[in-house]
Every structure is written in C-alpha cells, then in structure tokens.
Amino acid sequence: MRKTIVSAAIAVAALTAGAVAIAAETVTASESEQKPPHRHWHFEGPFGTYDRAAAQRGYQVYAEVCSACHSLQLLAYRNLMELDLTENQVKSLIKDIQVPDLGDDGQPIERPARLSDSFRKPFANPAIAAAANNGKAPPDLSVMIKAREDGPDYVHGILTGYVPFDKLTPEQIKEFNLTKDDNFNKYYPGHRIAMPPPLADDKVTYADGTKATLDQEASDVVEFLAWASEPKMEDRKRTGVRVILFLLAMAGLMYAVKRQVWADKH
Amino acid sequence: MASSSIPAGGHVDPTRRDFLMVATGAMGAIGTIAVAWPFINNLNPAADTLALSTVEVNVAPVQVGQAITVKWRGKPLFIRHRTPEEIKAAEAVPMSELRDPQTDNSRVTDTAKKVRPEWLIMIGVCTHLGCVPLGNNPGDPKGEFGGWFCPCHGSMYDTSGRIRKGPAPLNLAIPGYLFTSDTLVRVG
Amino acid sequence: MASSHGTPPVFNNKVIAWIDHRLPIFSYMEKEYHHFPTPRNFNYFWNFGAIATVMLVLMIATGIVLATNYTPHTTMAFDSVERIMRDVPSGWLIRYLHMTGASFFFIAVYIHIFRGLYYGSYKSPRELLWILGVVILLLMMATAFMGYVLPWGQMSFWGATVITSLFTAIPVVGDSITTWLWGGFAIDNPTLNRFYALHYLLPFVIVGVVALHVVALHVHGSNNPLGIDVKGPQDTVPFHPYYTMKDGFGLMVFLIIYAGFAFFAPNYLGDPANYIQANPLATPTHIVPEWYFLPFYAILRAIPNKLGGVLAMFGSIAVLFVLPWLDTSRVRSASFRPIYKWFVFVLVADVFLLGVCGANPPEGWYVPLAQIGTLYYFFHFLILLPVLGKIERPLPLPPSIADAVLKKNAG
C-alpha cells in the first residue's frame, strides 16, 4: 500500500512537471519583454532586514525626485521614525513640507506637516494627476514593491532600464513606433513608458557621503519602497522564527506522547 | 479523565509517561495563551489613532468670558477664558464644601507647572455617566454655581469645573496640556 | 444519548453530574470523543478532518477580529486593509494568518477529499456523509470567493466581475440575475457590502453543516484504510487518547508548514495585482483566481461556449454529489482495487494539470491540454467508475481489521 502511494505520488509529480515544462516553454516563447536581472536585497530571505541607511537615502531620493509625481499615501511622516530616525530628525526632514487642511473658518489652507499627517500627495486627486501627466496618473507607490511580480528587481529594472533614443536600433524604433519624445525602457511591458528617466548619476547629493550613482539611487529607493510596502516584515520574520521553533518542540512532544499511547497497540 | 483510559502497558515507565503528558499539556497551555495575545492586542488603539491623540489649539480668538469646544480623542474639550469674577469665585470656595477637594490653582496649571488662571481647560464629559454638560455657549444654563450643568441627571459644576451638586462623584477632568506660546496650547 | 458501548459515564464532580443529568453534554463528549470506538488502523490521511476543523475555527477567529477593523466601502476597503497591516496592533499577523489560512484550509480539505476518494469513504452507508462534505466544499468556495473580493484589489474586482458574469450565460433571465447579484450595473459598493455580509455569515453555516457531517460520521463510525467494516471491539481503539494524540501530532506538522508560509512567504500564494487598488476602467492583462479554484477555472475556459463552460464548471462539482452511485465497485478501499488505484492518481494528476492550465492564459498548448483534462475529469467519474466497478476483480479482503494489523506487525 505504502509503495503504491509513493510510486503514484512520483507519477503525479512527473506528469505535473511535464505539464509545467510545456507551459513554461510556451510562456518564454510568447513574451518579448526582458525580465529584469535578479539582484541581492538586504531584506531577502527568512532573516533579511531592511538596510536602514539605504532606506534613509531612499527616502531622500523619494522626497527630492519621485514625490513630485508619485504619492505615498498609505504612509505617515511618523512612520519614518521606524527607519531609526529620532522624532527631531524626522521633524527637521519635514519642516518645509506644507500639507492641505481646513482653516478655523473652514477655508482650505496649507499648514506645516505634522508627524501624524499622511505623506503629502503631489496632486489633489487622480483626475488632476492624470490631467497633468498626459492622461495617465502616476501610480501611488505605497505597496508598489508588492504589487509587481519580483517587485524589487522590477522597480530597480525600470529605474535603470532606459535606453536613450540615439542608442536604439532602427528595428526597435520601427517595431515600437517610437519618436524622439518617447521613453524606451527595457523592462517595461510594451517598452513605451510615460515616465521620463527619473534618476541619473548625481541626481541627489547624499548627506552620508555615499556616491550617488544611478544604480545606487535606484537600489536605495527600492530599499525604501520595500520598507514602505511591508513595514512589519522584520517583526513578522522574528515572530515566525519563534512560532516555528515552538511548533517543532510541540510536534516532538506530541509525537513522543502519541508513540507512548500507541505502544501497546502495535 | 485522560489518564484513566491510557492502558497501563507493562513496558511504559509511568513517571516518564506522566512527565511527557505534563510537559505537553504545559506547552499546549503556553501556546494557547501566546495565540490569544495577538487577538486581544488587536483591539487596542492603532498607531494612527495614537498619533492623533495630541491637538494644538489657537486660543487667541477666545474673548474673556467666552468658551470654545474642541474635539479631542473623540470627546469634547472645554476651553474657557474666565473673567476675573469667575476666577475669584472659584478661588474663594473653601475646600470643606467640595465633594472632590481640589484648589482652583491646581486645575489651571499646565504640564510645565505654569499657572494661567484665565484659561480653564477640561474634558467636557460629566463624571457621572458620560453626558456633555451645558454651559459653554452663551445661552446655556450654567447651574447654581455659574459653571456647567449636566442635563442628564442634574449635576452642577462651579466656575472651576468642580462638582458641587448632583450625582456626579468627581470634578470635570483636566487633561495634560502645555502652552507653547501665550495663545497656542497643545493638549495630550 | 445513552452509551451503547461500555458503561455509561459516572461523574464524580457534583456540579458536572448535576448539569449532565439535565443537559447531557458531558456524557455526549465522553461517548463521542472519548470512548468512541474508532478503527485502529488509520493512517495519517485520517488527520485531515481534525486539521480542517481547526482551520475553520482559526479562520472564523481571525476573520471576526479582522472585521473589527475592516471598512466595506469601495473608497476605504483597500486602505482599511492596509491600515490593518500597518497601524493596527498585531494586525499584519491576523491578516496574514487569515489570508494564508484560506489556502491551507483548502489544502487540508482537498487532502481530506482525496482520502475519501481513494479509500471509498463515500460508499454505503456513508453516502450522506459524503454529500454533506460536498456541501461544505461548495460553501467554502462561495465564502473564499466573496472573501477575496473584500480587500478591493484589482484581482478582487476583476475576479468578481468574471465569476458573477458567469450567470449572464443563463438563457433569458441571466442578465437580470447578474444585476440582482451586483445590486447595480457592475461590481460596486452594493456588491462589496453584500459580499461582506455573506462572507461573515457563511462560515457559521459551514459550522452547522460540519456538525451534521460529524453526526453522520458517528452513526456508522469512520471508514478505514482497509475499507472493511468493524467486526468487534478488537478492531477499534477509543478515540481518546489514541486519535486525539495522533491528530495532535499531525496538526502540529501541518501548522509548521502553514506558519512557514504565513510568516516567511505570505504573498507567495497570492497575486501581486491584488496590491493595486480596484480600478473598474482597467482590466489586468491576465486574470487568475486563487490557486484553489484553478482546476475549475480551467474547466470553465476549456469549453468554447459560454453556457457550456459554466455548466461544465458547475457540473465538475455536481458530479461529486452522485459519486456514491457512480462507483459500482463492491469494495471500498482502492488498496484492493488493482486497476482503479492507478486511476485515482491519474485523476489527481489530471486535476493538477487543469490547475496549471487555469493558471496560464488560454493560448497555445494550454487550450488542448485543458480540453483533454476536462474530458478526462468527466470520463473518470461518468464512464470509468461505473464500468470499472463491474469488470475489475478486487483482491481478497482481510477477514478483519485486527487480523490485518496483527499480520502487518508480525511481517
């Protein structure tokens, strides 16, 4: 009986693997997009954590570049304290930010941001955002890293995957019907992306002296956005280790008890 | 119940069996408590709720003799700009007449220990059963002591917000507050 | 309720005795979960009923707590789930346990169903027990489907649109039924509200049907790997402590795998598109349901006719209701059916194949593969089972469970 189950299980596995293999082949054949290369991230793996220094630099990139168009509406300024920044450091980071509110007379006003405020949105609503960006609103980035397949690699790929018009082959220009005003991105589905290249070498000047290469900026902002997408990740992994250790011990005990209970029946 | 049905197999050492049972039971109990905690903790105030627990109020527009009501932590906050007569009346009350003895001075001191008798800042919730007392608006009944009157069960508070008559046991509560300038007060 | 096996329980505790005299819950527990005579030869497949019960309780517990922070409104649903993930104390934990828990509830139930298929647990006198199980499966599917809509992501919205649009395939009244289901002209706030209400209600209906399932189980007792009836006390052991402890061990192993996913890969089984807020004006390029619906989704798409696809999909579950009468074999357990036992695994492979087809766009190879898979699925139940039962020669059955166990231990 046991042998039958094992061999049958192998048969099932083989059949399924065959089907998946055929499937995988058709998929690679049908997709023209390049997959962004896998990079190592500090937050990967069962014990990975966010690199705080990188995430702080990433916030600087977001604040100085991305935030002109992209909102981060699920975050509040108080959340920045989770990146090992003190209350006063966060307050000085946001001291020039004005957020919309209603005055005592009920009229709209702008006032300095508080820690409890959500991140300032670049556009008051999606319609305004779309109107200001050729009809397509720049997406919110709060959970962007979780909202794409292989999110960290994908976002890094998009940020670094632009090909300037003069570097494109005539075939590419023809195939994708490109003009000088279009943006070609290796990793964007369909390649024609509305967003102009947002980052470049020395686009920001890092306070900690890190050299601001394009790759560095992209990696840092991905680290920051990964944290923004899943701020409780470290807590989750820590809890997970404890839970699994407990369950392993409990399983061991239960197995011993079960064996003893059954000792006279075998 | 459990032990009665375990057949006493000759080859099983009873102390080892008991130890296993006790250890498993204890682990199970710990596990159950550990699982219960996140479910209970879940109902505590969330981080965004806690972040909003401080409000800053500009009291400059409140004239002498006027009062305003501000929402703070989901409750009304009374801010009264008291007249010199009201302050005098409040200070003159002997402690022996009070159900919940507190000096007027102690009720108008901010967290930096600075006393501002003209500003009385209180949580506007009757200490009886949680109604909002009247007395903040110009036309409101103020009760026999010129302060606040709770319409639910007739509790009366004086010009220092202290309970003087009616079923309420305690004075209106004073939150922690701090004047960051002469006209800007931060509550909570 | 008086015990037919052994002596009726006597309670030394006066309070318990007093209550039991008036409301015999203690006698009931003693009889049904302590002394209950259970075949002594269960393998670990028999753990999954208990495991599924635990998952049901866990899903209800986490669900109720999530409901205390969730807002069923199209403008706030997505953000309220993210607020649970970010600001609510332990919110991320409860949410991920619930999200991953749905998958593991289905894993437990699918293994439980496979166990029933392989060992013929649906055969007389357990036909109603099996049918109640299929009802539970249908209720679970409805609950899971509506629950998936609540986070109001792109996949929530478009999955709901596609599945509710199935009803438009019904001739004449299809459109009216769909409008009625939606409470409007598309999936919108009224739909979200009613799905939330039903997602909260149905789990308790499941609890009720599970209770009936257990009552039906305890009439004739469990089936067993040999598929033969219990002949006497030598064939059984009391449920407690023998199977409580064995179930407990199996449960711990299951929970380890579950915790592995919930804590270290909580989004692995989900779709990234559901972290994009629902947008009724833009369909994702590739709509897929959660993995546990993929085989049924493949059957739906395999038929090149709208109504036909819908009928085939519902038929694939409906056929399970009549399974006890489709299987004409005299023996229950596939262990004694030399031909059929291979076909059970072919069916499993077929369901996996359908799952792979369902996960991929209906292009190229997937179209014929899904069609073959669908054809085989119905062939298995409608033709193979009735015919094979007549022509197959089962192996000789052991005289009793005790006999088989003793022989196995000796050899």
The DSSP line for B77-142 is: EEEEE--HHHHHHHHHS-GGG-SS---TGGGSB-TTS-B-TTEEEEE---TTTSPPPB-SSTTS--
Residue C182 confidence (pLDDT) above 80: yes
Residue A188 confidence (pLDDT) above 70: yes
Residue A183 confidence (pLDDT) above 60: yes
Can you tell me the mean pLDDT for C294-313?
A: 94
Return the active site residues of B.
153
Would you call B29 an interface residue with chain A, using a CB distance cutoff of 8 Å? no
CA C317 centroid distance within chain: 12
Judging contacts by C-beta atoms under 8 Å, the chain B residues touching residue C35 are 5
Q: Which of residues 237-256 of A touch C (CB under 8 A)?
A: 237, 239-241, 243-244, 247-248, 250-251, 254-255
Can you tell me the mean pLDDT for A203-223?
A: 95
Q: According to the model, what pLDDT value does residue B12 have?
A: 54
In whole angstroms, give the CA distance from residue A148 to residue A134: 23
Q: Is there a contact between C298 and C373 (Cβ–Cβ < 8 Å)?
A: yes
Minimum CA–CA partner of B38 in chain A: A239
Chains that touch A (3 or more CB pairs under 8 A): B, C
Q: According to the model, what pLDDT value does residue C7 have?
A: 56
Residue C299 confidence (pLDDT) above 50: yes
Can you tell me the mean pLDDT for C116-131?
A: 97
Would you call C241 an interface residue with chain B, using a CB distance cutoff of 8 Å? yes
Q: Which amino acid is at B165?
A: K
Name the more confident of B11 and C273: C273
Residue from the list A23, A236, A244 with its beta carbon closest to the beta carbon of C366: A23
In the block, which residue shows the tokens 């015990």? C3
Q: What is the CATH number of the domain that holds C240?
A: 1.20.810.10
Q: Is there a contact between B13 and B21 (Cβ–Cβ < 8 Å)?
A: no
Would you call C237 an interface residue with chain A, using a CB distance cutoff of 8 Å? yes
Residue from the list A74, A230, A258 with its beta carbon closest to the beta carbon of C79: A74
Query: Residue A43 burial by CB count (10 A; 0-12/13-18/19+): exposed, middle or buried?
Result: buried
Nearest by Cα to A93 from A62, A122, A121: A62
Residue C142 confidence (pLDDT) above 70: yes
Would you call B61 an interface residue with chain A, using a CB distance cutoff of 8 Å? yes
Residue A22 confidence (pLDDT) above 80: no
**Residue in C90, C237, C239, C256 to test binding to B, most B beta-carbons within 10 Å:** C90
Looking at CATH, the fold of the domain delimited by B50-187 is given as: Rieske Iron-sulfur Protein (2.102.10)
Domain boundaries, chain B: 13-44, 50-187
Q: Is residue C100 part of a domain?
A: yes
- Least confident piece of the model among A125-129, A220-224, C53-57, C151-155: A125-129
Would you call the peptide bond into C125 cis, given omega within 30 degrees of 0 as the criterion?
A: yes
In the block, which residue shows the tokens 């906050």? B77
Residue from the list C82, C246, C363 with its beta carbon closest to the beta carbon of A143: C82
Judging contacts by C-beta atoms under 8 Å, the chain B residues touching residue C89 are 38, 41-42, 44-47
pLDDT class of C331 with cuts at 50, 70, 90: very high
A80: Cβ contacts below 8 Å, ≥ 6 apart: A59, A90, A93
Q: Is C246 assigned a catalytic role?
A: yes
Q: According to the model, what pLDDT value does residue A27 have?
A: 46
Would you call A103 an interface residue with chain C, using a CB distance cutoff of 8 Å? no
Residue C140 confidence (pLDDT) above 50: yes
Would you call C240 an interface residue with chain A, using a CB distance cutoff of 8 Å? no
In whole angstroms, give the CA distance from residue A37 to residue A189: 15
Number of residues assigned to chain A = 266
What tens digit of pLDDT does each residue of A34-76 get? Answer: 789 999 999 999 999 999 999 999 999 999 999 999 999 999 9
Mean residue pLDDT across chain C: 94
Can you tell me the mean pLDDT for C70-82?
A: 96
**Residue in B3, B5, B12 to test binding to A, most A beta-carbons within 10 Å:** B12
Degrees to nearest 5, angle at CA A45 with A44 and A50: 40
Domain boundaries, chain A: 33-75+139-238
Would you call C234 an interface residue with chain B, using a CB distance cutoff of 8 Å? no
Q: According to the model, what pLDDT value does residue C407 have?
A: 87
Q: According to the model, what pLDDT value does residue B21 have?
A: 87
Query: Residue A223 burial by CB count (10 A; 0-12/13-18/19+): exposed, middle or buried?
Result: buried
The DSSP bridge partners found for residue A101 are: A109
How far B13 CA sits from the closest chain C CA (Å)? Answer: 17
Q: Is there a contact between B162 and B100 (Cβ–Cβ < 8 Å)?
A: yes
Binding-site residues on chain B for chain C (CB distance < 8 A): 1-2, 5-6, 37-39, 41-49
CATH class of A33-75+139-238: mainly alpha
Can you tell me the mean pLDDT for C139-147?
A: 97
Query: Residue C59: what are its φ and ψ, rounded to 5°?
Result: -65, -40
State the distance between the two ends of chain C, measured CA to CA, in whole angstroms. Answer: 41
The DSSP bridge partners found for residue B165 are: B156
**Residue in C97, C346, C356, C369 to test binding to A, most A beta-carbons within 10 Å:** C356
pLDDT class of B138 with cuts at 50, 70, 90: confident
- Least confident piece of the model among A233-237, C168-172, C290-294: C168-172
Minimum CA–CA partner of B38 in chain C: C90
Question: Considering C79, C165, C188, C218, which one is annotated as catalytic?
Answer: C218
pLDDT class of A181 with cuts at 50, 70, 90: confident
CB contact under 8 A, A30 and C365: no
DSSP string, A136-202: -PPPP-TTTTTSSTTHHHHHHHHHH-EE-GGGS-HHHHHHTT--TTSEEETTSTTSEESS-----TT
**Residue in A2, A4, A116 to test binding to C, most C beta-carbons within 10 Å:** A4
Domain that holds residue C256: 34-285
Residue C130 confidence (pLDDT) above 90: yes
Inter-chain Cβ pairs, chain A and chain C, closer than 8 A: 127
Residue A20 confidence (pLDDT) above 60: no
The DSSP bridge partners found for residue B101 are: none
Number of domains in chain C: 1
How far A115 CA sits from the closest chain C CA (Å)? Answer: 14
Minimum CA–CA partner of B31 in chain C: C252
How far A205 CA sits from the closest chain C CA (Å)? Answer: 31
Residue C4 confidence (pLDDT) above 50: no
Judging contacts by C-beta atoms under 8 Å, the chain A residues touching residue B71 are none
**What is the share, in percent, of chain B residues with pLDDT greater than 90?**
54
Would you call A250 an interface residue with chain B, using a CB distance cutoff of 8 Å? yes
Nearest by Cα to C285 from B146, A154, A148, A221: A148
Q: Is there a contact between B136 and B80 (Cβ–Cβ < 8 Å)?
A: yes
Q: According to the model, what pLDDT value does residue A134 have?
A: 87
Dihedral sign for Cα C3, C6, C7, C12, please.
Answer: negative
**What is the share, in percent, of chain C residues with pLDDT greater than 70?**
98
Can you tell me the mean pLDDT for A191-211?
A: 93
What tens digit of pLDDT does each residue of C35-72 get? Answer: 999 999 999 999 999 999 999 999 999 999 999 999 99
Can you tell me the mean pLDDT for B154-163?
A: 93
Q: According to the model, what pLDDT value does residue B13 have?
A: 62
Q: According to the model, what pLDDT value does residue A21 have?
A: 53
CA C67 centroid distance within chain: 23
Q: According to the model, what pLDDT value does residue A9 have?
A: 61
Residue B39 confidence (pLDDT) above 50: yes
Q: Is there a contact between C115 and C121 (Cβ–Cβ < 8 Å)?
A: yes
Mean residue pLDDT across chain B: 87
Residue C219 confidence (pLDDT) above 50: yes
Q: Is there a contact between B122 and B174 (Cβ–Cβ < 8 Å)?
A: yes
Considering the entire predicted model, what is its pTM? Answer: 0.89
CB contact under 8 A, B48 and C87: yes
**What is the share, in percent, of chain A residues with pLDDT greater than 70?**
87
Q: According to the model, what pLDDT value does residue B7 have?
A: 45
Would you call the peptide bond into C272 cis, given omega within 30 degrees of 0 as the criterion?
A: no
In whole angstroms, give the CA distance from residue B117 to residue B53: 25
State the distance between the two ends of chain B, measured CA to CA, in whole angstroms. Answer: 55
Q: Is C247 assigned a catalytic role?
A: yes
How far B104 CA sits from the closest chain A CA (Å)? Answer: 30
CB contact under 8 A, B48 and C91: no
